[in-house]
Structure 1
Amino acid sequence: MLAKDKTNLKIEEIRMHKHHEIHRVKPLMPALCRIRQGKKVINWETHSLTVDNNQIILFPCGYEFYIANYPEAGLYLAEMLYYPIDLIEKFQKFYAITDQIRNTTGFCLPQNPELIYCWEQLKTSIFRGFSTQIQEHLAMGVLLSLGAHHVNCLLLSDSKQSLISRCYNLMLSEPGTKWTANKVARYLYISVSTLHRRLASEGISFQSILDDVRLNNALSAIQTTVKPISEIARENGYKCPSRFTERFHNRFKITPRELRKASRE
């Protein structure tokens, strides 16, 4: 049975001890990255940024990023804050956010005291298991601290409530499920032919979405947990570890073991 649709805020810590590069990373929901130590290089389309621990990176949906992480004094440390679709919808209802021309070079901004305050309070509320309402309130505070321009850049750079986003949201609830186009179409209350047609109009296939969800979710788990790689593979729909390693390497140009090794001192 699928998990009920609810806000699932999380701040994940990425702790690495060796330089590493990851290709074709695709955020499945809007995210913010706060560098605590070291630096990060990101490339997308024709743009490139080098970010240190005085800045916040915006990762909107709809883009593929090349990422390189560089430790400082033997440690790269960053925190990732992900924004679920339902929280974004609430924020847009509460605050007048209007669509603007996309600025695809504005994915970085300096940290400021309001942002850091809200971030730390949100992190505490998540770790201590405070109520959903408190967590959402603080998460919206983080968004407000970005300023209107950067909020637009983060939340509206991809089509709101696109079918792609709905598919991501559904599959992320249980990435290890044997998802088929027929099953997804039933959950979204559309015909399978409509699903394929509308995805084609958005420039993507069903299999590409499934691969995006499983591989990027596995990438996050390898970076932020100590679970065995074989377990991560199973949780993301790969029963054969060697098949998982092959698909992972083809996508990110690094093997799961190489990435896990970079996290060890």
Structure 2
Amino acid sequence: MQWDNREMRAGPQDLILMPAGRELGVTNKPGALGNYIADTVTFSQELLSSFRARHGVEIHARLSHASSAELCVPLDRHTTDAWENLLACLTTDAPQALRTHYGEGVLLALSLAGYAGPLLIDRRDPLGARVQQLLMLDPAASWTVARVAEHLHLSASTLRRRLANESSSFSHILEQVRMGLALQWLQSTIRPIGEIAEACGYASASRFSVRFRQRYGLSPRALRAAQLLSI
């Protein structure tokens, strides 16, 4: 799979999310027996809107702590169960009510795992929320106002003006995304601080540490030390 400047290999245990209006490149590589098999399910806008309305609060809470907004995500146990139930429902010509129920089950499993963001972005969402989800697709990228505006089919000046109307800015959202992900990774993984800095788009660990201290009041190293003491 290729999108933006990224490339990722998807295998049998992965689920590919294909949001409406997003350009993706897909290269199929058959297995040893020359077979390529994939199940594809399309979610209607009505189902997505209904799901957002029913689970909106929980979705936004999960998205704010999501590790990323990947388009190629691993099938964990709950998502696998939900996906298999949906496929079984579709292949047995079950009633539409059951199809909707199991479809929402897949969306809920993805939401609980923090992966449903790209599917749930709506053009009616506040612009800041759409910018945030876009940046989370690749927090380490060299994002600029012009690049984000192009993705959202806006001019750079329009993007700046509309974000200002929401009392926000591109730089504020970018730092919010990068710092939020860094905080989560520091708290939930043992990844080296330098690696986290790079994954969040900072050119050096020292620059990252300065920005982190300014935002949270302590350095990444001090945060890790405090966590060890509290265990």
Within the alignment, does 1:180 sit opposite 2:133 as a pair? no
Within the alignment, does 1:207 sit opposite 2:171 as a pair? yes
Structural RMSD (CA) = 4.2
Q: What is the CA distance between 1:235 and its match in structure 2?
A: 0.5
Q: Deviations over 1:101-150 (max 9, x none)?
A: xxxxxx9xxxxxxxxxxxxxx97415x6864967951664899xxxxxxx
Change beyond 3 A, Cα 1:141–1:175: closer
In 2, are the aligned partners of 1:91 and 1:140 still within 8 Å (CA)? no
* Bigger Rg, which one: 2
- 1:92 counterpart letter in structure 2: S
1:93 & 1:125 partners in 2: Cα distance?
A: 21
Q: 2:220 aligns with which of 218, 231, 256?
A: 256
In 1, are the aligned partners of 2:197 and 2:205 still within 8 Å (CA)? yes
Q: 1:235 aligns with which of 181, 199, 217?
A: 199
1:242 & 1:185 partners in 2: Cα distance?
A: 30
Query: How high is the TM-score relative to the length of structure 1?
Result: 0.47
Partner SS for 1:263: helix
Q: 2:185 aligns with which of 214, 217, 221?
A: 221
In 2, are the aligned partners of 1:178 and 1:237 still within 8 Å (CA)? yes
2:46 & 2:189 partners in 1: Cα distance?
A: 29
Paired-residue identity, %: 35
- 1:202 counterpart letter in structure 2: E
User: 1 or 2, which has the higher helix percentage?
Assistant: 2
Change beyond 3 A, Cα 1:129–1:256: farther
In 2, are the aligned partners of 1:164 and 1:209 still within 8 Å (CA)? yes
Q: Deviations over 1:10-59 (max 9, x none)?
A: xxxxxxxxxxxxxxxxxxxxxxxxxxxxxxxxxxxxxxxxxxxxxxxxxx
1:250 & 1:197 partners in 2: Cα distance?
A: 27
Q: Residue 93 of structure 1 corresponds to which residue in structure 2?
A: 50
Matches within 5 A, 1:131-150: 131=83, 137=105, 140=108
Q: 1:125 aligns with which of 78, 84, 90?
A: 78
- 1:243 counterpart letter in structure 2: R
1:224 & 1:241 partners in 2: Cα distance?
A: 19
Within the alignment, does 1:161 sit opposite 2:114 as a pair? no
Q: What is the CA distance between 1:214 and its match in structure 2?
A: 0.7
Q: Residue 98 of structure 2 corresponds to which residue in structure 1?
A: none
Q: 1:6 aligns with which of 8, 17, 28?
A: 17
Partner SS for 1:176: coil
2:109 & 2:203 partners in 1: Cα distance?
A: 41
1:89 & 1:169 partners in 2: Cα distance?
A: 21
Query: How high is the TM-score relative to the length of structure 2?
Result: 0.53
Q: What is the CA distance between 1:213 and its match in structure 2?
A: 0.8
How many residues align? The count is: 153
Q: Deviations over 1:143-176 (max 9, x none)?
A: 9xxxxxxxxxxx9xxx951110110010000000
1:130 & 1:222 partners in 2: Cα distance?
A: 31
- 1:228 counterpart letter in structure 2: P
2:126 & 2:133 partners in 1: Cα distance?
A: 11
Q: Residue 78 of structure 1 corresponds to which residue in structure 2?
A: none
Name which of structure 1's ranges 226-235 and 133-142 shifts more when overlaid on structure 2.
Answer: 133-142
- 2:105 counterpart letter in structure 1: H
1:89 & 1:219 partners in 2: Cα distance?
A: 35
- 1:244 counterpart letter in structure 2: F
In 2, are the aligned partners of 1:238 and 1:244 still within 8 Å (CA)? yes
Q: For structure 2, list consecutive stretches of 5 or more residues without a partner in the other structure.
A: 8-15, 19-42, 62-74, 87-101, 112-119
User: 1 or 2, which has the higher strand percentage?
Assistant: 1
Q: Residue 25 of structure 2 corresponds to which residue in structure 1?
A: none
